[in-house]
C-alpha cells in the first residue's frame, strides 16, 4: 500500500527577479501531527518541482487544533544565490551550514 502525498495548496506565488527566487505561501494538510521540516522540504521539492538544495523553509506554522500547516518557502534559481542571500540562522536551521561550536 503506497502512502499518498498530503494535499498542498499554493496560496500565493510571487517571482522575485532581483533576488532570483520564487516566494511561496502554502498550506499543507497534515495527515498525523505537524510534519518535520525535513519531511516538508522533501514534499515541497516534489510538489514544486524544485531541487531540495535550492529550497528554504522560512516559516512553518501550525495553529493549535488545526490539521493544516502554513509554510513560507523560497525556491532559488541556484544554491549559490541561496547561500549569498539567506541569513545565517536560516542556513544553519535548514542544514546548509554547521552550527558553530561555543567555547
pLDDT, position 42:
93
pLDDT, position 4:
63
Do residues 44 and 69 touch, judged by C-beta distance below 8 A? no
What are the residue ranges spanned by the domains of the chain?
8-93
End-to-end CA distance of the chain: 50
CA-based torsion, 77, 84, 95, 68: positive or negative: negative
Which pLDDT band holds residue 89 (cuts at 50, 70, 90)? very high
pLDDT digit string, tens, across residues 20-67: 999 999 999 988 788 889 999 999 999 999 999 999 999 999 888 888
pLDDT, position 20:
95
pLDDT, position 2:
44
Mean pLDDT, the chain, as a whole number?
A: 90
Q: Considering the entire predicted model, what is its pTM?
A: 0.86
CATH of 8-93, one of 3.40.50.300, 3.30.70.330, 3.30.70.20, 3.90.650.10: 3.30.70.330
Amino acid at each position: 500500500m503506497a502512502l499518498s502525498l498530503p494535499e498542498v495548496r499554493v496560496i500565493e506565488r510571487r517571482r522575485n527577479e532581483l533576488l532570483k527566487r520564487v516566494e511561496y505561501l502554502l498550506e499543507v494538510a497534515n495527515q498525523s501531527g505537524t510534519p518535520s521540516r525535513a519531511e516538508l522540504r522533501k514534499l515541497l521539492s516534489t510538489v514544486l518541482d524544485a531541487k531540495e538544495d535550492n529550497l528554504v523553509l522560512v516559516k512553518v506554522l501550525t495553529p493549535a487544533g488545526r490539521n493544516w500547516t502554513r509554510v513560507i518557502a523560497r525556491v532559488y534559481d541556484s544554491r549559490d544565490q541561496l547561500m549569498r542571500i539567506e541569513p545565517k540562522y536560516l542556513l544553519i536551521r535548514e542544514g546548509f551550514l554547521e552550527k558553530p561550536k561555543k567555547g
